[in-house]
Chains A and B, each alone.
Chain A
Amino acid sequence: MVTIPRTGRTNTRNSARSGGAIFGRRATRRRPAIESVGWKTAAYVCMLAFTVLTIAPLVWLAYSSFKPHPVIVRNIFSLPESLYWENYTVAWTRGTMGIYFVNSIIYTSTATVLTTLLALSAGYGLAKFRFRVSALVYGAFIMGLLVTPHSVLVPLFILETRVGIDNTRAGVILPYIAFGLPFLVYLATSFIRGIPDAFEQSALCDGAGYLRIFRSVIVPLSTPVATTMLIFAFISNWNEFVFVFTLTSSPALRSLPVGINAFAGGMTRDFGLQFAALIIGTVPMIVFYIFFHEQIARGFAAGALKG
Chain B
Amino acid sequence: MTSIQYRRASYVTLVAPAFFVYAAVIIFPIAYTAYLSFVRWQGFGAPQWVALANYTRMLTDPVFLHGLRNNLLVVGISVLGQIPLGFVLAYVIYRRMVRAEKFFEVMIFLPITISPVVVAILWNQIFSPAGAFTAIVRALTGNPTYIMRLFEDRTLAIAPILFVILWMYTGLYMVIYLANLQRIDPEIIESATIDGASEPQIFTRIILPAMVNIIFTTTVFAVSGSLKSFDLIWAFTQGGPAHYTEVIAIYMYRHTFRFYNYGLGASTSMAIIVLSVVLICGLRAIARYLERRYE
Interface residues of A (CB under 8 A from B): 1, 3-4, 7, 18, 21-22, 26-27, 29-34, 36, 39-40, 43-44, 46-47, 50-51, 53-55, 57-58, 60-61, 73, 76-77, 118-119, 121-122, 124-126, 129, 131, 134, 137, 140-141, 144-156, 158-159, 174-175, 177-179, 181-182, 185, 209-211, 214, 235, 238-239, 241-242, 246, 256-258, 260-261, 264-265, 271, 274-275, 278, 281-282, 285-286, 288-289, 293, 296-298, 300-307
Residue of B nearest to A121 (CB): B14
Contacts of A27 in B (CB 8 A): 182-183
Contacts of B59 in A (CB 8 A): none
The answer to whether A261 and B273 touch across the interface, beta carbons within 8 angstroms, is no
Complex contacts, A131 vs chain B, CB 8 Å: 8, 11
B33 and A154 within 8 A (CB): yes
Given A76-B131, A153-B256, A278-B121, residue A210 in contact with residue B14 (CB < 8 A) = yes
| Residues of B with C-beta under 8 A to A29 | 186
B113 x A285 contact (CB < 8 A): yes
Give the residue of A34, A46, A149 whose beta carbon is less than 8 angstroms from that of B96: A34
B92 & A43 in contact (Cβ 8 Å cutoff): yes
Cross-chain contact of A33 among B27, B96, B130 (Cβ < 8 A): B96
Given that A278-B122, A305-B214 are known contacts, is A154 also in contact with B183, CB under 8 Å in the complex?
no
| Neighbouring A residues of B179 by C-beta, 8 Å | 22, 297-298, 301-302, 305
Are B21 and A118 in contact, CB atoms less than 8 angstroms apart? yes
Q: Which residue of A lies closest to B170 (CB)?
A: A50
13 of the cross-chain contacts (CB-CB < 8 Å) are A32-B190, A39-B97, A121-B18, A141-B22, A177-B21, A239-B114, A256-B115, A257-B115, A265-B121, A265-B124, A274-B125, A286-B110, A304-B176
Contact partners of B193 in chain A: CB under 8 A:
32
Give chain A nearest CB distance to B219 CB in angstroms. Answer: 10
Q: How many residues of B contact A (CB 8 A)?
A: 106
- Bound form: Cα–Cα A39–B253 in Å: 48
B14 adjacent to A155 (CB under 8 Å): no
Known: A40-B98, A148-B269, A297-B175. A242 touches B231 (CB 8 A): yes
Contact, CB under 8 Å: B214 / A307: yes
Starting from the known contacts A44-B97, A174-B24, 14 additional A-B residue pairs (CB-CB under 8 Å) come to A1-B277, A29-B186, A32-B96, A121-B15, A150-B269, A154-B262, A209-B6, A239-B116, A239-B117, A261-B235, A285-B115, A296-B113, A301-B178, A301-B179
A contact residues around B186 at 8 Å (CB): 29-32
